[in-house]
Chain A
């Protein structure tokens, strides 16, 4: 009797999954009639509030799962949906340089969690043929974490279906400063060796030296957690991006949030593309 009930429940579950998968495919099909963003960036805000709601501690007791586990899986789910939709570039703001100012035990817990997740990410991205790139001042990370990140970057360098950029030890101002320093250094060398007699540094030169040079500018920047600010994320690249803020906490983000964000983007796309082209002409 029990086995029959379990079997019926399992069948009902499968039917529901298939039905929701079918509905999702239909919705995605409708979305693809309009322009699909080439690059979506996520500010993954709300993990701590979610953990507080679920009463998760640093080490993940009382709830089964680390504090940031749910956030990691939310990113993987978003990656899957974006791939299905045809979004080629996905960027996620995982850890800001400003986050180093948090309590040391929290930072350590986050670093440990990230190291664990890199191993898991290694398996998942190879299954999905996703190229992984890390943007940020990796010198600020521990040797182990940095080595793990470089290993993952090299292991996935050949994949081209989609590109996942994880911003870690990153702030946009630090990125711009890095690009400015590199541009000034290159200009000085060029002038010294007579490779260039023009004092001017062009916009393209600065852009080439950004950590985010691997990806085009984001079409949409989605921020969860209800705040309406960029928090030092992709300032240079966000000039024409559609900014979308949502109240849902990052671990709770779902397919409908993504669909709504893309629908909003589709209303504004043409203007943004025109402006990008014109700025390049200037």
Chain B
């Protein structure tokens, strides 16, 4: 393929996490990390009798070493993912479609865990697009119940791991109970600062721009702004991604080998590096994520210049 993604030797993963456990209980069995730097005076102090408690309380990502080849200074602040391939994964295994979605949720949990470990600040996941409403009703209802169940089960984790949850999209189309759950979860976790997970539901890039346009038109109608005043800053204030400090993904990963954006965050992807992975989403694990990040770190970003 002329795409020729930048591959590096796959690190050894010695113990895969069991699918049924929530991600925070997965032991860190991963090997092939960069050697730790020799102790400096601040580290020596931390390891003294009085400093041991401080070291114990220190956040994992501050002292966590990264896999070989990854540079902490070049980590993307915001990674976006189009989680494609769940149904194909199930069909290939002669399993019902719901198994594919459930495996997809487990894969997401692993990636969230890895993002927290490796210092990525924001992860946006394209969970349900506007065109997914055309899927069979049974499948859509299952997905809605899966979102509800997943959010309820992982609420404790979000608080314990200091994860902020944001939900963007046209939530009016979702079942009332799910809407309420999402809004409450967003509100309850809004002060969490370690990591932000943006769940993108019932969303399209076109919808995002049009709803921003409508809000601006309303402001113009009320005389708050002139249409000629509309600029990048005003526009970005009205887009759904105004919920984060890093609204523009640095890296977009799409799984399952499809080479398209599928109406995801169009405005926000202006200078985003695109990475198309061949594996299906439930199979997208640490090794594949590492490949994507290594490829990202090797790219020269010119921002259009």
Contacts and interface: CB of A to CB of B under 8 A. Distances in A.
Interface of A: 96-99, 101-102, 171-173, 176-177, 180-185, 187-188, 191, 199-203, 206, 226-232, 235-236, 238-248, 257, 260, 264, 268, 272, 275, 278-279, 282
B18 interface: no
B184 interface: no
B277 to A, nearest CB: 12
Contacts of B217: 183-184, 187-188, 199, 201
B210 A201 contact: yes
A241 B264 CA distance: 12
A191 B221 CA distance: 9
4 closest pairs, A vs B, by CB?
A98-B304, A239-B263, A184-B227, A232-B270
Contacts of B214: 199-201
Contacts of A232: 270-271, 304
Given A243-B260, A278-B134, A236 B206 contact: yes
Contacts of A102: 305
A184 B216 contact: yes
Interface string B204-222: 1111011011101110110
Given A184-B230, A203-B206, A171 B235 contact: no
B212 to A, nearest CB: 7
Given A176-B209, A246-B2, A247-B4, A184 B271 contact: no
B261 A173 contact: no
Contacts of A201: 210, 213-214, 217
Chain B interface size band reads: 35 or more
Most buried by B among A185, A202, A206, A229: A229
B278 interface: no
Nearest to A188: B220
Interface of B: 2-4, 130-131, 133-134, 204-207, 209-210, 212-214, 216-218, 220-221, 227-228, 230-232, 235, 258-264, 266-267, 269-276, 299, 302-305
A202 B210 contact: yes
Contact of A231 (B259, B276, B304): B304
B259 A243 contact: yes
Given A177-B235, A201-B214, A264-B259, A282 B227 contact: no
A228 B251 CA distance: 10
A278 B263 CA distance: 12
Given A183-B213, A235-B266, A275-B131, A173 B260 contact: no
Contacts of A275: 131, 262-263
B259 A268 contact: yes
A231 B271 contact: yes
A172 B232 CA distance: 12
Given A228-B273, A229-B272, A232-B271, A101 B305 contact: yes
Nearest to B304: A98
A150 B275 CA distance: 39
A257 B216 CA distance: 43
Contacts of B258: 268
Given A172-B270, A206-B210, 14 more contacts: A97-B304, A173-B232, A184-B217, A191-B221, A201-B213, A227-B299, A230-B269, A230-B270, A238-B261, A239-B262, A243-B259, A247-B2, A247-B4, A279-B130
A268 B261 CA distance: 13
A67 B219 CA distance: 47
Nearest to B170: A282
Contacts of A240: 260, 262-263
B166 to A, nearest CB: 22
A180 B269 contact: no
Contacts of A99: 304-305
B272 to A, nearest CB: 6
Given A238-B266, A239-B261, A243-B260, A177 B205 contact: no
Contacts of A279: 130-131, 204, 206, 263
Contact of B266 (A184, A239, A246, A272): A239
12 contacts: A180-B235, A183-B217, A184-B216, A187-B221, A228-B275, A228-B299, A235-B266, A236-B206, A239-B204, A243-B260, A243-B274, A275-B131
Most buried by B among A101, A206, A243, A248: A243
B158 to A, nearest CB: 31
A216 to B, nearest CB: 15
A228 B271 CA distance: 10
A260 B275 contact: no
A180 B214 CA distance: 9
Contacts of B305: 98-99, 101-102
